[in-house]
């Protein structure tokens, strides 16, 4: 079985997927899950790569389910955009 650092080195973030959907994740924990600095997490939120957090005891937090749902929605939108682009290219080249 691979160690967690080996898994992350190939781009697989399984820590998030293994959490219960209602698990509350702090900014620090999210940075550790993605092996990034907390500032990178803040910037990802600004770029809308991650959903906005809510405050709990003055600290930004998310639930695992919210993070996963946000990522899944972004993937669906990207797939839809790709399908539309391919259709448009097909119409232009036909």
Taking only the tens place, the pLDDT of each residue in 17-53 is 899 999 999 999 999 999 999 999 999 999 999 999 9
Q: What percent of the chain has pLDDT over 90?
A: 74
Q: What is the pTM of this model?
A: 0.80
What is the Cα–Cα distance from 60 to 51, expressed in whole angstroms?
11
Whether pLDDT at 10 is above 70: no
Structure tokens at 50: 């991650």
More confident residue, 14 or 83: 83
């Amino acid at each position: 079985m691979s160690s967690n650092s080996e898994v992350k080195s190939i781009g697989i973030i399984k820590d998030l997927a293994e959490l219960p959907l209602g698990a509350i994740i702090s900014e620090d924990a999210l940075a550790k899950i993605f092996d990034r600095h907390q500032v990178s997490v803040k910037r990802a939120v600004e770029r809308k790569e991650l959903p906005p957090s809510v405050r709990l005891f003055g600290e930004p937090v998310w639930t695992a389910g919210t993070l996963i749902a946000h990522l899944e929605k972004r993937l669906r939108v990207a797939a839809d955009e790709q399908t539309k682009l391919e259709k448009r290219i097909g119409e232009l080249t036909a």
